[in-house]
Amino acid sequence: MNLKQLSDRLGLSQTTVSRALNGYPEVSEATRERVLKAAQQTGYKPNKAAQRLATGKAKSIGLVMQSAPEIGGDPHFSEFLSGLAEEAVKHDFHFVMAPASPDDELNAIKRLIASGYVDAIFLAHVVDPDPRVALLRSSSIPYLLHGRIMGDTHDYPYLDVDNEGAFYTAAKLLLQFGHKRFALLNGMERFTFAMRRKIGLEKALGEAGLTLSPDLVHHSVMGDQAGFRAMERFLARPERPTAVLCASTALALGAVRAINKAGLKLGTDISLIAHDDVLTTLRPENFSVPLTTTRSSLKAAGARIGQRLIAGLDGTGDMPEQELWEAELIVRASTGPAPM
Protein backbone atom coordinates (compact mmCIF):
# COMPACT_ATOMS: atom_id res chain seq x y z
CA MET A 1 0.00 0.00 0.00
CA ASN A 2 1.46 3.31 -1.02
CA LEU A 3 0.32 6.88 -0.95
CA LYS A 4 -1.20 6.78 -4.37
CA GLN A 5 -3.24 3.71 -3.66
CA LEU A 6 -4.38 5.12 -0.38
CA SER A 7 -5.44 8.42 -1.89
CA ASP A 8 -7.17 6.71 -4.81
CA ARG A 9 -9.08 4.58 -2.41
CA LEU A 10 -10.13 7.66 -0.50
CA GLY A 11 -10.88 9.65 -3.58
CA LEU A 12 -8.41 12.31 -2.49
CA SER A 13 -5.20 13.60 -3.92
CA GLN A 14 -1.84 12.47 -2.65
CA THR A 15 -1.19 15.97 -1.44
CA THR A 16 -4.19 16.02 0.81
CA VAL A 17 -3.50 12.62 2.21
CA SER A 18 0.12 13.44 2.85
CA ARG A 19 -0.85 16.65 4.58
CA ALA A 20 -3.48 14.95 6.64
CA LEU A 21 -0.97 12.36 7.74
CA ASN A 22 1.73 14.83 8.59
CA GLY A 23 -0.43 17.16 10.58
CA TYR A 24 -0.50 20.13 8.27
CA PRO A 25 -3.24 22.66 8.98
CA GLU A 26 -4.54 22.98 5.43
CA VAL A 27 -6.82 20.04 5.76
CA SER A 28 -10.17 19.82 7.52
CA GLU A 29 -10.49 17.79 10.65
CA ALA A 30 -13.11 15.58 9.10
CA THR A 31 -10.86 14.71 6.18
CA ARG A 32 -7.90 14.16 8.42
CA GLU A 33 -9.80 11.73 10.51
CA ARG A 34 -11.01 9.86 7.51
CA VAL A 35 -7.49 9.61 6.19
CA LEU A 36 -6.02 8.55 9.48
CA LYS A 37 -8.60 5.85 9.84
CA ALA A 38 -8.01 4.53 6.37
CA ALA A 39 -4.28 4.52 6.92
CA GLN A 40 -4.82 2.57 10.08
CA GLN A 41 -7.08 0.03 8.42
CA THR A 42 -4.96 -0.56 5.38
CA GLY A 43 -1.83 -0.62 7.44
CA TYR A 44 -0.28 2.07 5.34
CA LYS A 45 3.23 3.01 6.34
CA PRO A 46 5.12 5.60 4.38
CA ASN A 47 8.16 4.37 2.54
CA LYS A 48 11.13 5.69 4.42
CA ALA A 49 13.46 5.75 1.49
CA ALA A 50 11.06 7.90 -0.47
CA GLN A 51 10.44 10.10 2.51
CA ARG A 52 14.10 10.45 2.98
CA LEU A 53 14.63 11.32 -0.62
CA ALA A 54 11.94 13.94 -0.58
CA THR A 55 12.69 15.58 2.72
CA GLY A 56 16.32 14.93 3.33
CA LYS A 57 15.40 13.82 6.82
CA ALA A 58 15.26 10.23 7.85
CA LYS A 59 14.91 10.14 11.60
CA SER A 60 17.92 7.99 11.82
CA ILE A 61 21.29 8.28 13.38
CA GLY A 62 24.28 6.44 12.11
CA LEU A 63 27.03 4.75 13.93
CA VAL A 64 29.91 2.83 12.63
CA MET A 65 30.56 -0.20 14.64
CA GLN A 66 34.07 -1.42 14.68
CA SER A 67 33.87 -5.07 13.97
CA ALA A 68 37.28 -5.95 15.24
CA PRO A 69 37.37 -9.24 17.07
CA GLU A 70 38.71 -7.57 20.17
CA ILE A 71 35.90 -5.09 20.37
CA GLY A 72 33.23 -7.39 19.14
CA GLY A 73 31.23 -8.70 21.98
CA ASP A 74 32.03 -5.80 24.16
CA PRO A 75 29.33 -5.57 26.81
CA HIS A 76 30.27 -1.94 27.30
CA PHE A 77 29.17 -1.29 23.78
CA SER A 78 25.85 -2.99 24.14
CA GLU A 79 25.19 -1.33 27.44
CA PHE A 80 25.73 1.99 25.82
CA LEU A 81 23.64 1.03 22.86
CA SER A 82 20.73 0.11 25.03
CA GLY A 83 20.68 3.60 26.47
CA LEU A 84 20.82 5.10 23.04
CA ALA A 85 18.06 2.79 21.92
CA GLU A 86 15.80 3.68 24.76
CA GLU A 87 16.01 7.31 23.82
CA ALA A 88 15.66 6.59 20.14
CA VAL A 89 12.50 4.60 20.58
CA LYS A 90 10.86 7.52 22.31
CA HIS A 91 11.31 9.68 19.26
CA ASP A 92 10.78 7.03 16.64
CA PHE A 93 14.36 7.15 15.50
CA HIS A 94 16.38 4.20 14.41
CA PHE A 95 20.05 3.66 13.84
CA VAL A 96 21.98 2.53 10.91
CA MET A 97 24.99 0.58 11.95
CA ALA A 98 27.76 0.36 9.49
CA PRO A 99 30.19 -2.28 10.56
CA ALA A 100 33.73 -1.62 9.53
CA SER A 101 37.05 -3.31 9.89
CA PRO A 102 39.29 -1.02 11.92
CA ASP A 103 41.45 0.01 9.01
CA ASP A 104 38.46 0.94 6.94
CA GLU A 105 36.53 2.91 9.46
CA LEU A 106 37.14 6.22 7.86
CA ASN A 107 35.69 5.03 4.62
CA ALA A 108 32.76 3.53 6.41
CA ILE A 109 31.98 6.91 7.87
CA LYS A 110 32.29 8.56 4.51
CA ARG A 111 29.97 6.04 2.97
CA LEU A 112 27.53 6.48 5.78
CA ILE A 113 27.43 10.22 5.36
CA ALA A 114 27.20 10.11 1.60
CA SER A 115 24.60 7.39 1.67
CA GLY A 116 21.99 9.83 2.76
CA TYR A 117 20.70 7.25 5.13
CA VAL A 118 21.44 9.06 8.33
CA ASP A 119 20.83 12.48 9.77
CA ALA A 120 23.59 12.44 12.31
CA ILE A 121 26.55 10.40 13.33
CA PHE A 122 27.73 9.13 16.63
CA LEU A 123 31.26 8.11 17.44
CA ALA A 124 32.88 6.33 20.34
CA HIS A 125 36.21 4.80 21.20
CA VAL A 126 38.00 8.05 20.63
CA VAL A 127 41.71 7.85 20.04
CA ASP A 128 44.23 10.62 19.63
CA PRO A 129 44.76 11.97 17.11
CA ASP A 130 41.48 10.76 15.74
CA PRO A 131 41.11 11.09 11.97
CA ARG A 132 37.45 10.31 12.29
CA VAL A 133 36.89 13.41 14.34
CA ALA A 134 38.75 15.44 11.78
CA LEU A 135 36.56 13.99 9.07
CA LEU A 136 33.35 14.72 10.90
CA ARG A 137 34.45 18.19 11.70
CA SER A 138 35.01 19.01 8.09
CA SER A 139 31.76 17.42 7.00
CA SER A 140 28.47 19.16 7.44
CA ILE A 141 26.58 16.37 9.13
CA PRO A 142 25.71 16.77 12.81
CA TYR A 143 27.69 14.48 15.03
CA LEU A 144 28.48 13.76 18.63
CA LEU A 145 31.37 12.02 20.31
CA HIS A 146 31.33 9.81 23.29
CA GLY A 147 34.71 10.75 24.65
CA ARG A 148 37.18 13.42 23.76
CA ILE A 149 40.41 13.74 21.96
CA MET A 150 43.32 14.87 24.08
CA GLY A 151 44.12 18.49 24.72
CA ASP A 152 41.89 21.31 25.73
CA THR A 153 40.31 22.33 22.48
CA HIS A 154 36.58 22.25 22.83
CA ASP A 155 35.45 23.01 19.35
CA TYR A 156 33.54 19.82 18.76
CA PRO A 157 30.50 18.35 20.45
CA TYR A 158 31.08 15.59 22.94
CA LEU A 159 29.89 13.87 26.02
CA ASP A 160 32.56 12.45 28.19
CA VAL A 161 33.16 11.15 31.64
CA ASP A 162 35.84 12.89 33.60
CA ASN A 163 38.09 9.88 33.54
CA GLU A 164 41.09 11.77 34.74
CA GLY A 165 39.17 13.15 37.69
CA ALA A 166 37.72 9.76 38.51
CA PHE A 167 41.04 8.02 38.76
CA TYR A 168 42.60 11.00 40.45
CA THR A 169 39.99 10.82 43.18
CA ALA A 170 40.29 7.08 43.43
CA ALA A 171 44.03 7.33 43.78
CA LYS A 172 43.68 10.03 46.39
CA LEU A 173 41.57 7.74 48.51
CA LEU A 174 44.14 4.99 48.29
CA LEU A 175 46.92 7.42 49.10
CA GLN A 176 45.06 8.48 52.21
CA PHE A 177 45.01 4.85 53.18
CA GLY A 178 48.76 4.93 53.01
CA HIS A 179 49.25 2.99 49.82
CA LYS A 180 52.49 3.55 47.98
CA ARG A 181 52.81 0.89 45.32
CA PHE A 182 50.11 1.28 42.70
CA ALA A 183 49.21 -0.86 39.74
CA LEU A 184 46.96 0.03 36.86
CA LEU A 185 44.86 -2.32 34.80
CA ASN A 186 43.82 -0.16 31.94
CA GLY A 187 41.96 -0.38 28.66
CA MET A 188 43.72 -0.27 25.33
CA GLU A 189 46.38 2.36 25.33
CA ARG A 190 45.23 4.07 22.18
CA PHE A 191 41.90 5.11 23.63
CA THR A 192 41.79 8.52 25.21
CA PHE A 193 39.69 7.35 28.11
CA ALA A 194 42.53 5.04 29.06
CA MET A 195 45.10 7.80 28.63
CA ARG A 196 43.14 10.11 30.86
CA ARG A 197 42.69 7.55 33.57
CA LYS A 198 46.38 6.96 33.64
CA ILE A 199 47.02 10.68 33.77
CA GLY A 200 44.63 11.04 36.69
CA LEU A 201 46.41 8.36 38.61
CA GLU A 202 49.84 9.77 37.81
CA LYS A 203 48.76 13.20 38.85
CA ALA A 204 47.62 12.02 42.26
CA LEU A 205 50.79 10.02 42.70
CA GLY A 206 52.90 12.93 41.61
CA GLU A 207 51.31 15.13 44.22
CA ALA A 208 52.33 12.57 46.82
CA GLY A 209 55.84 12.45 45.49
CA LEU A 210 55.32 9.01 44.03
CA THR A 211 55.58 7.68 40.51
CA LEU A 212 53.79 4.96 38.68
CA SER A 213 56.08 2.12 37.72
CA PRO A 214 55.70 1.20 34.05
CA ASP A 215 55.99 -2.42 35.09
CA LEU A 216 52.78 -2.11 37.00
CA VAL A 217 50.76 -0.73 34.17
CA HIS A 218 48.84 -3.00 31.89
CA HIS A 219 46.87 -2.11 28.80
CA SER A 220 44.49 -4.55 27.17
CA VAL A 221 40.93 -5.27 26.25
CA MET A 222 38.72 -5.07 29.25
CA GLY A 223 37.90 -8.69 29.83
CA ASP A 224 38.31 -10.86 32.89
CA GLN A 225 40.97 -13.00 31.27
CA ALA A 226 43.27 -10.10 30.62
CA GLY A 227 42.66 -8.90 34.16
CA PHE A 228 43.58 -12.23 35.60
CA ARG A 229 46.77 -12.64 33.65
CA ALA A 230 48.01 -9.15 34.27
CA MET A 231 47.24 -9.31 37.95
CA GLU A 232 49.04 -12.61 38.28
CA ARG A 233 52.10 -11.02 36.76
CA PHE A 234 51.87 -8.05 39.05
CA LEU A 235 51.60 -10.25 42.11
CA ALA A 236 54.58 -12.28 41.05
CA ARG A 237 56.82 -9.24 41.22
CA PRO A 238 59.22 -8.94 44.14
CA GLU A 239 57.58 -5.76 45.33
CA ARG A 240 53.97 -6.41 44.63
CA PRO A 241 51.51 -3.55 44.51
CA THR A 242 49.19 -2.93 47.42
CA ALA A 243 46.74 -0.85 45.44
CA VAL A 244 45.21 -1.52 42.06
CA LEU A 245 43.10 0.62 39.80
CA CYS A 246 40.99 -1.19 37.24
CA ALA A 247 39.46 0.40 34.19
CA SER A 248 36.44 -1.87 34.30
CA THR A 249 34.62 -4.32 36.47
CA ALA A 250 35.34 -7.05 33.94
CA LEU A 251 39.06 -6.51 34.42
CA ALA A 252 38.49 -6.40 38.13
CA LEU A 253 36.76 -9.74 38.00
CA GLY A 254 39.90 -11.33 36.67
CA ALA A 255 42.13 -9.39 38.97
CA VAL A 256 40.16 -10.47 42.01
CA ARG A 257 40.45 -14.05 40.94
CA ALA A 258 44.20 -13.71 40.73
CA ILE A 259 44.25 -12.09 44.13
CA ASN A 260 42.22 -14.88 45.66
CA LYS A 261 44.34 -17.48 43.99
CA ALA A 262 47.45 -15.90 45.47
CA GLY A 263 45.87 -16.27 48.86
CA LEU A 264 45.67 -12.54 49.41
CA LYS A 265 42.76 -10.84 51.03
CA LEU A 266 41.08 -8.10 49.11
CA GLY A 267 40.66 -4.92 51.11
CA THR A 268 43.31 -6.00 53.55
CA ASP A 269 46.40 -7.26 51.78
CA ILE A 270 45.58 -5.41 48.65
CA SER A 271 43.12 -2.67 47.79
CA LEU A 272 41.32 -2.35 44.51
CA ILE A 273 39.17 0.31 42.90
CA ALA A 274 37.47 -0.31 39.60
CA HIS A 275 35.68 1.94 37.25
CA ASP A 276 32.08 0.85 37.07
CA ASP A 277 30.16 1.42 33.88
CA VAL A 278 27.10 -0.04 35.58
CA LEU A 279 26.90 -3.08 33.38
CA THR A 280 23.74 -5.02 34.01
CA THR A 281 25.52 -8.30 34.17
CA LEU A 282 28.40 -7.49 36.42
CA ARG A 283 27.81 -5.47 39.51
CA PRO A 284 30.64 -4.49 41.77
CA GLU A 285 28.48 -4.71 44.87
CA ASN A 286 28.05 -8.39 44.19
CA PHE A 287 31.68 -9.35 44.26
CA SER A 288 32.61 -11.63 47.12
CA VAL A 289 34.30 -8.57 48.52
CA PRO A 290 32.19 -5.68 47.24
CA LEU A 291 34.24 -3.38 45.08
CA THR A 292 34.97 0.26 45.64
CA THR A 293 34.27 1.94 42.34
CA THR A 294 34.18 5.14 40.38
CA ARG A 295 30.78 4.95 38.86
CA SER A 296 29.30 6.42 35.73
CA SER A 297 26.52 4.73 33.87
CA LEU A 298 27.28 3.95 30.28
CA LYS A 299 23.65 3.42 29.57
CA ALA A 300 22.80 6.84 30.89
CA ALA A 301 25.48 8.26 28.65
CA GLY A 302 23.92 6.48 25.71
CA ALA A 303 20.52 7.87 26.53
CA ARG A 304 21.87 11.34 26.92
CA ILE A 305 23.70 11.19 23.65
CA GLY A 306 20.58 10.04 21.92
CA GLN A 307 18.69 12.88 23.49
CA ARG A 308 21.17 15.49 22.37
CA LEU A 309 21.50 14.15 18.89
CA ILE A 310 17.77 13.95 18.37
CA ALA A 311 17.06 17.30 19.90
CA GLY A 312 19.70 18.80 17.70
CA LEU A 313 18.05 17.40 14.62
CA ASP A 314 14.60 18.47 15.61
CA GLY A 315 15.90 21.94 16.03
CA THR A 316 14.48 21.67 19.51
CA GLY A 317 18.00 21.67 20.64
CA ASP A 318 19.35 24.11 23.04
CA MET A 319 21.80 21.65 24.37
CA PRO A 320 25.27 22.17 25.65
CA GLU A 321 27.83 21.31 23.08
CA GLN A 322 30.17 19.76 25.55
CA GLU A 323 29.39 17.80 28.61
CA LEU A 324 31.71 16.31 31.15
CA TRP A 325 30.25 13.93 33.66
CA GLU A 326 31.85 13.39 37.01
CA ALA A 327 32.09 9.83 38.19
CA GLU A 328 30.93 9.06 41.69
CA LEU A 329 33.34 7.42 44.04
CA ILE A 330 31.51 4.65 45.84
CA VAL A 331 33.48 3.18 48.68
CA ARG A 332 32.93 -0.46 49.46
CA ALA A 333 34.97 -3.18 51.07
CA SER A 334 37.73 -3.65 48.53
CA THR A 335 39.67 -0.69 49.83
CA GLY A 336 41.40 -0.45 53.12
CA PRO A 337 44.59 0.71 54.80
CA ALA A 338 47.84 -0.31 53.22
CA PRO A 339 49.37 -3.32 54.91
CA MET A 340 52.36 -2.56 57.12
- Chain contacts with its own copies (rule: CB under 8 A): 43-50, 52-53, 58, 60, 65, 67, 69-75, 77-83, 85-86, 88-89, 94-101, 104, 110-112, 114-117, 221-225, 228, 250, 253-254, 257, 260-261, 279-283, 286-288, 298-299
Q: How does DSSP assign 256-269, residue by residue?
A: HHHHHHTT--BTTT
Phi, psi (degrees; rounded to nearest 5) at 254 = -65, -40
Residue 3 binds which entry of DNA, its own copies, none, CB below 5-8 Å type-dependent? DNA
| Position 141 contacts DNA (CB under 7 A) | no
From candidates 31, 107, 213, 225, binder to DNA by CB under 7 A = 31
Residue 22 binds which entry of its own copies, DNA, none, CB below 5-8 Å type-dependent? DNA
Q: In this chain, which stretch among 2-10, 144-152, 183-191, 195-203 interacts with DNA, using CB under 7 A?
A: 2-10
3 state SS of 115 = helix
Tell me how far CA of residue 84 lies from CA of 34, 49, 118, 311, in angstroms: 36, 23, 15, 13
| Position 42 contacts DNA (CB under 7 A) | no
Neighbours of 25 (CB within 10 A): 7
Strands 60-66 and 292-295: unpaired
The alpha carbon dihedral of 191, 211, 169, 181 has a sign of positive
From candidates 40, 41, 42, 54, binder to DNA by CB under 7 A = 54
Q: CA-CA distance, 245 to 253, in Å (whole number)?
A: 12
Q: CA-CA distance, 82 to 89, in Å (whole number)?
A: 10
Phi, psi (degrees; rounded to nearest 5) at 159 = -130, 125
Residue 11 binds which entry of its own copies, DNA, none, CB below 5-8 Å type-dependent? DNA
Q: In whole angstroms, how close is the CB of 23 to DNA at the nearest point?
A: 10
- Cβ nearer to its own copies, comparing 104 with 269: 104
Q: CA-CA distance, 281 to 291, in Å (whole number)?
A: 15
Residue 201 binds which entry of DNA, its own copies, none, CB below 5-8 Å type-dependent? none
Q: In this chain, which stretch among 16-24, 90-98, 102-110, 194-202 interacts with DNA, using CB under 7 A?
A: 16-24
Q: In this chain, which stretch among 1-9, 87-95, 276-284, 294-302 interacts with DNA, using CB under 7 A?
A: 1-9
| Position 139 contacts DNA (CB under 7 A) | no
Q: In this chain, which stretch among 23-31, 128-136, 196-204, 250-258 interacts with DNA, using CB under 7 A?
A: 23-31
From candidates 53, 89, 134, 236, binder to DNA by CB under 7 A = 53
Task: Tell me which residues in 71-130 interact with DNA (CB under 7 A).
Answer: 116
From candidates 28, 211, 268, 280, binder to DNA by CB under 7 A = 28
Q: CA-CA distance, 282 to 239, in Å (whole number)?
A: 31
- Cβ nearer to DNA, comparing 15 with 316: 15
Q: ω into residue 241 within 30 of 0, thus cis?
A: no
Instruction: Give every strand in the sheet of 243-246, ordered side by side.
Output: 217-219, 182-186, 243-246, 271-276, 292-295, 328-330
| Position 41 contacts DNA (CB under 7 A) | no
Q: CA-CA distance, 21 to 110, in Å (whole number)?
A: 34
- Number of residues in contact with DNA, rule: CB under 7 A? 28
Q: Taking every pair of C-alpha atoms in the chain, what is the biggest distance, in angstroms?
A: 89
Q: CA-CA distance, 54 to 135, in Å (whole number)?
A: 26
From candidates 41, 55, 260, 316, binder to DNA by CB under 7 A = 55
From candidates 50, 89, 97, 331, binder to DNA by CB under 7 A = 50
Residue 39 binds which entry of DNA, its own copies, none, CB below 5-8 Å type-dependent? none
Residue 110 binds which entry of DNA, its own copies, none, CB below 5-8 Å type-dependent? its own copies
